[in-house]
């Protein structure tokens, strides 16, 4: 997609905030515990290569991604660290992964047997066995399946059994009953494991922040690196997370809207009195949700409502008084002590901040500071 560099709308990514969030968590880890930074989904919308660069400086020793192409992007950018693809990759790409020293997630012995047919020469594929302890997504479901898979790996020279892991679905909740249920299942799996591989990992951001006794020898540090609380507002992190993303634009058109005139598609908003209205060059094609009609932005420390439906490329706001074209508008971030957070936007949309951050499209120019 074309990047919009010739309009005054941008995502501003604060490298210093990302560094703080990673380095602080790294300092909390026990000796010998590694931090792999999760940079999937274009670094949760923050930029995969840029985030990886900061994470490397902050002490990350590896990376996690969701799909093979993200791992190849990191390799093409020159990163030499271990990279784990957390999702299931088709077995036909086993040789490509091995050639590029990219580790594969394995959820069944059938995958291993099929992948073996594609490995050539001396290529050996590093694999991490995924265990389904209650997430219900991917992975071995029963300890006996794990035992069979490890026996197969022991008998094959085509694979390097590099890691084993699971994923907790409620590590970010105050009620820990289901977390304890998953932990018990994890322990049952580990009881049948004859030899532990190099990496044993269960901790995403939430697990590492609130259940760090379970960290194993590696954590998969995700959303917290970007300054976002994994639990939303339910739990308080053990240290201050600094949000790394803000969204700003400028007014491109300002007018006085007469009483009785309507705004945007469907004429869903009609002025009840003469009002000053500004048009902003951003819309749902940029990932600024159409459902944000009625929400607000910040102008000169004033919360200004979004009026009428959000269009594909533009939206309108009601001003307290006339402002000149070119006046800066904060859509996410801080303005003279007032703040609009990603959590605020997510709450209004009835979703989670992950979705909002990841939903910003490539058309939005990303500017990096600090």
Q: Average pLDDT of each block of 10 consecutive residues along the chain (370 residues)?
A: 94 98 97 97 98 98 98 98 98 98 98 97 96 97 96 96 97 96 96 94 97 94 98 96 98 98 98 98 98 98 98 98 98 97 98 97 96
The boundaries of every CATH 2.40.37.10 domain in the chain are 245-340
Residue whose token pair is 């322990």: 187
- How far the first Cα of the chain sits from its last, in Å, is 26
119: Cβ contacts below 8 Å, ≥ 6 apart:
94, 95, 98, 125, 158
Number of Cβ atoms within 10 Å of the Cβ of 319: 21
Where is the binding site for substrate, in residues? 137, 312
Pull the structure tokens for residue 58.
């902050």
Among the options 40, 44, 118, 199, which is catalytic?
Answer: 40
- Alpha-carbon distance 204 to 222, whole Å? 6
Residues 206/179, Cβ–Cβ less than 8 Å: no
Q: Which residues are annotated as a binding site?
A: 137, 312
Instruction: State the DSSP H helix or E strand holding residue 329, giving kind and residue range, or none if neither.
Output: strand 328-335
Question: Where are the CATH 3.20.20.10 domain residues in the chain?
Answer: 15-226
Separation CA 33–CA 223 (nearest Å)? 19
pLDDT value of residue 95: 98
Please state whether beta strands 315-319 and 328-335 pair in parallel, antiparallel, or not at all (unpaired).
unpaired
Tokens of 164: 């084993």
- Residue that has been written with the tokens 């705004």 in this structure: 263
Place of tokens 């004429």: 267
Measured between alpha carbons, how far is 6 from 365 in angstroms, rounded to an integer? 9
Question: 């989670």: which residue's tokens?
Answer: 352
265 catalytic? Reply is yes
3-state secondary structure of 212: helix
Of 303, 290, 366, 357, the closest CA to residue 330 belongs to 303
26 is catalytic: no
Pair 293, 217: CB distance under 8 Å: no
Name the helix (H) or strand (E) containing 164. Answer: strand 159-165
- One of 255, 256, 259, 265 is an active-site residue; which one? 265
- 360: closest CA among 303, 280, 273, 289? 289
Tokens of 313: 């490329």
DSSP string, 92-113: GGHHHHHHTTEEEEE--HHHHH
Total Cβ atoms within 10 A of residue 90: 11
Helix axes 48-58, 68-76, angle to 10 degrees: 70
At 1 the pLDDT is 76
Architecture, CATH, for domain 15-226: Alpha-Beta Barrel (3.20)
Neighbours of 307 (CB within 10 A): 21
- What pLDDT was estimated at residue 194? 86
Q: Which CATH superfamily is domain 245-340 in?
A: Lyase, Ornithine Decarboxylase; Chain A, domain 1 (2.40.37.10)
């Amino acid at each position: 997609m074309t990047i919009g560099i010739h309009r005054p709308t941008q995502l501003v990514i604060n490298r210093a905030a990302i560094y703080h969030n990673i380095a602080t968590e790294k300092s909390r880890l026990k000796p010998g515990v590694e931090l792999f930074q999760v940079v999937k989904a274009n670094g949760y919308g923050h930029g995969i290569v840029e985030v990886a660069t900061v994470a490397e400086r902050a002490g990350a020793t590896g990376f996690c991604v969701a799909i093979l192409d993200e791992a190849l992007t990191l390799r093409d950018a020159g990163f030499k660290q271990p990279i784990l693809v957390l999702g299931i990759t088709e077995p036909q790409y086993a040789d490509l992964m091995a050639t590029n020293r990219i580790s594969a997630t394995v959820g069944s012995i059938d995958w291993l047997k099929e992948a073996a047919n594609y490995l050539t020469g001396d290529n050996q594929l590093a694999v991490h066995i995924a265990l389904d302890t209650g997430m219900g997504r991917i992975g071995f479901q029963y300890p006996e399946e794990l035992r069979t898979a490890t026996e197969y790996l022991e008998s094959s020279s085509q694979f390097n059994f590099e890691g084993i892991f699971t994923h907790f679905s409620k590590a970010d909740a105050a009620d820990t009953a289901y977390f304890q249920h998953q932990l018990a299942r994890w322990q049952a799996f580990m009881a049948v494991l004859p030899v532990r591989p190099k990496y044993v990992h269960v901790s995403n951001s939430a697990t590492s922040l609130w259940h760090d006794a379970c960290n194993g020898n590696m954590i998969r540090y995700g959303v917290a690196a970007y300054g976002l609380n994994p639990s939303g507002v339910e739990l308080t992190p053990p240290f201050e997370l600094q949000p790394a993303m803000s969204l700003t634009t400028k007014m491109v058109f300002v007018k006085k809207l007469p009483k009785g005139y309507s705004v945007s598609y469907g004429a869903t908003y009609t002025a009840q009195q003469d009002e000053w209205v500004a048009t902003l060059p951003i819309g749902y094609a940029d990932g600024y949700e159409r459902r944000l009609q009625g929400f607000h932005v910040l102008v000169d420390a004033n919360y200004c409502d979004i009026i009428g439906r959000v269009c594909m490329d533009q939206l309108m706001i009601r001003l307290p008084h006339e402002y000149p074209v070119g006046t800066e508008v904060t859509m996410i971030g801080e303005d003279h002590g007032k703040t609009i957070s990603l959590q605020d936007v997510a709450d209004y949309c009835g979703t989670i901040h992950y979705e909002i951050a990841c939903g910003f499209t490539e058309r939005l120019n990303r500017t990096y500071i600090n």
